[in-house]
Structure 1
Amino acid sequence: ICVFHNGEIVESGSHDELLALGGRYYQLVTKKD
């Protein structure tokens, strides 16, 4: 999985790796509406 921000890849890895980073992907996946 690659996470883009402003047209650049800011994070990449598996779902579990990205959750462990606690970055943008984590925020996106765990966001509550």
Structure 2
Amino acid sequence: MSTVFLGGALVAAAVTLFILQPILSGCMLLSIGPKTN
């Protein structure tokens, strides 16, 4: 049972990272953009 829980947690973490990656990169570009301009 614990192995299934760990597997689910790893999958959830991977999915959240995959979803948040473009959002985080967009925030970084928005925060860096005005400074360079």
TM interval, shorter chain, is under 0.3
Q: Which has the higher contact order (CA 8 A, sep 6+)?
A: 1
Q: Which has the higher helix share?
A: 2
TM-score (norm 2): 0.26
TM-score (norm 1): 0.27
